[in-house]
Amino acid sequence: MPDQDFLQLPDLACRDLGGSVVYANDEFFAERENLVAPGPPVFDSSEFGHKGKVYDGWETRRRREEGHDFAIVRLGVPGVVHGLVIDTAWFKGNYPPFASVDGLCVEGYPTPQELLDAKWEPILDRVPLEGDTANTFAVDDDRRWTHLRLNIFPDGGVARFRVHGKAKPDPAFLTGTVDLAALENGGDVVACSDQFYGSPRNIIGLGRARHMGEGWENARRRDGGNDYVVVELAGEGLVEHVEIDTSYFIGNAPGAARLVGIPADGDLADESSWVELVPRTRLLPDCRHRFRVDAGTPVRHVRLDVYPDGGIARLRVHGRLT
Ligand SMILES: NC(=O)NC(NC(N)=O)C(=O)[O-]
């Protein structure tokens, strides 16, 4: 994955996905939980508490002995890490000059003490950090992790720790009918005609969109063609029902949509291998459209075409893994 492209991938550590900072050796100035808070860090220059300046981040005290500080994050969903952001926003005279990151893959629900005793593996070797900066690091590694340890040298403050990657949940829990497209289940967007206003990954994100900005929105199309998005499913599966949600797209919903599936041995570019799941159907603005599907053929990818363009809030592809 080239340089900064990993920033498009979901943040597996984010609180929205269930990520948690389960331990920090010190959090004197600012609490560790802020590391995985959604949204950008905020700063109020006038806000002081009894112990010092209030920061929206994790901040340790000034070290007076050897050693370094660290925090342990449990990912919301286990996954493969493609890039890290160690964001020192607002930490200007008190950011850590260096950091490194280790990973761990464990079954079950280890306690902080069990995590402290575990055998961690390096993911990111010690690197220099800039203050008041979203420090980005691409990671080329295909191992699956459940926990990450952020080490800072020797001490200081980090506003956010973002862990961008691909979700790899335990397939033992993907039983019965599940959303095969959902990012949290391991689905991912692999192609899209246009993402001018909003990322197509939004449509397979968590929960409902809360406004138009949380959906996929392309630009107005002027060339007679149509927009589309291709989703790699969590695995090969039989699709049972589909939701195409245009919530909050009121003046800019697509006029119609079509959903096809592509079998594991099919060709994303060869229409003759596609399986019709939802034929071209008129869509309404601001509406959750649900469709029963009885295709009979397992598929590995789905392709959603919208005509001619327009926004989609969510795409849910409910089915059973084969
Ligand atoms: N002005 C500060 O931020 N000072 C200290 N930090 C806090 N949070 O007060 C420090 O020593 O890093």
Please report the pLDDT score of residue 3 as a whole number.
Answer: 74
Q: Is residue 25 domain-shared with residue 40, that is, in the same domain? A: yes
Residue at which a domain ends, from 119, 144, 167: 167
Q: What is the pLDDT of residues 42-59, one digit of tens each?
A: 999 999 999 999 999 999
What residues flank ligand 1, with Cβ below 6 Å?
A: 29, 52-53, 55, 59, 62, 94
Which residue, 128, 122, 124, is CA-closest to 153?
Answer: 128
Contact by Cβ (8 Å): 285, 248 = no
Q: Both 132 and 10 in a single domain?
A: yes
- Substitution candidate for ligand 1 out of 94, 95, 132, 158 with most atoms within 8 A of CB: 94
State residue 1's pLDDT score. 56
Is residue 161 located within the same domain as residue 267? no
Integer Cα distance of 197 and 199 in angstroms: 7
CA of 151 to the centre of ligand 1 (A): 19
52 alpha carbon – ligand 1 mean position (Å): 6
Cross-strand pairs, 52: 49
Q: Which of 110, 145, 167 is the last residue of a domain?
A: 167
CA–centroid distance, 21 to ligand 1, in Å, is 22
Where would I find the H helices in the chain?
112-117
* One domain, residues 213 and 142: no
- Report how many domains make up the chain: 2
Same domain assignment for residues 95 and 187: no
- Stated as kind and residue range, the H or E segment containing 22 is strand 20-24
Closest CA to 125 of 164, 147, 149, 99: 99
Residues 197 and 279 in one domain: yes
The answer to whether residues 157 and 186 belong to one domain is no
CATH code of the domain in which 201 resides: 2.60.120.260
pLDDT of residue 96: 98
Q: Give per-residue pLDDT as tens, 133-145.
A: 999 999 999 999 9
Q: Give the model's pLDDT for residue 76.
A: 96
> Cβ distance 311 to 167 under 8 Å?
no
Q: Are residues 149 and 184 in the same domain?
A: no
177 and 162 in a single domain? The answer is no
Condensed to tens digits (0 to 9), the pLDDT of residues 270-321 reads 999 999 999 999 999 999 999 999 989 999 999 999 999 999 999 999 999 9
Beta strands in 142-226 (DSSP E): 144-153, 157-158, 160-167, 178-179, 188-192
Confidence of residue 18 (pLDDT cuts 50, 70, 90): very high
Of 167, 197, 230, at which residue does a domain stop?
A: 167
Residues 140 and 7 placed together within one structural domain of the fold = yes
AA letter at 245: D
Ligand 1 atom with minimal separation from the 54 CA: 8
Tell me, what's the ipTM? 0.94
Structural domain for 52, as ranges: 3-167
